[in-house]
Chain A
Amino acid sequence: GIQVEQSPPDLILQEGANSTLRCNFSDSVNNLQWFHQNPWGQLINLFYIPSGTKQNGRLSATTVATERYSLLYISSSQTTDSGVYFCAVARAAGNQFYFGTGTSLTVIP
């Protein structure tokens, strides 16, 4: 399989702070997604980003596939950003996704 490492494992932020979450993977991939699992357990798609940079509001992501890492940026964090952020990668169409163990984010008011 593909090893996926996420860092940091836990993060506590004051509301309004910025943060960067990292995802390293051990093999070439052509699929990469970032998910947010909210406190109710729902997995929400944040980005489908096998390469390049995307932005959606306060969130942005960058994947450098040749160097096997992806970054998720959260700016001006809000308490609703709390939850676990997962990175998942796959080698080719339809093949299994390999998930990291996630970064648990807590944003305090």
Chain B
Amino acid sequence: DAGITQSPRYKITETGRQVTLMCHQTWSHSYMFWYRQDLGHGLRLIYYSAAADITDKGEVPDGYVVSRSKTENFPLTLESATRSQTSVYFCASSEPQGFGVTYNEQFFGPGTRLTVL
């Protein structure tokens, strides 16, 4: 049971380049999320998806693009990377359950450390 995986785990790129971070989950969870973690800010939501072909902005979406053509994959693209996007990126998934949603636990991938030079 692989759970939720991210690739690459480490990435160094240059300003202006396009970068895609991959996220894959094997649980068939309907919801998937992308967060970034920066010192002093904890984790902040970039984008999330409630199902295939349904995505929505989070707290810090500028400079990022997401897509979700399949339930199990949720790639995050930096179309033109900037130094301020140097961060650790976490993908997460959840499957709300129960009438009135009595259970909605999020599970996180191992993270991708991105450096933009």
Contact = CB atoms under 8 A, between A and B. Distances in A.
Nearest to A87: B42
Contacts of B105: 31, 33, 45, 48
Contact of B110 (A42, A92, A93): A42
Contacts of B30: 94
Contacts, number: 59
Contact of A94 (B40, B43, B104, B107): B104
A103 to B, nearest CB: 11
B42 A94 contact: no
A99 B44 contact: yes
Taking residues whose C-beta sits less than 8 angstroms from the other chain, chain A's interface range is 20 to 34
B96 A94 contact: yes
A41 interface: yes
Interface string B94-115: 1010000101111110110100
Contacts of A94: 30-31, 48, 50, 94, 96, 104
A92 B96 CA distance: 10
Interface of A: 1, 4, 30-31, 33, 35, 41-43, 45, 48, 86, 88, 90, 92-94, 96-102
Interface of B: 30-31, 33, 35, 40-45, 48, 50, 58-59, 88, 90, 94, 96, 101, 103-108, 110-111, 113
Given A41-B110, A45-B108, A88-B43, 10 more contacts: A1-B59, A4-B42, A33-B105, A41-B111, A43-B108, A45-B106, A90-B104, A94-B31, A96-B45, A97-B45
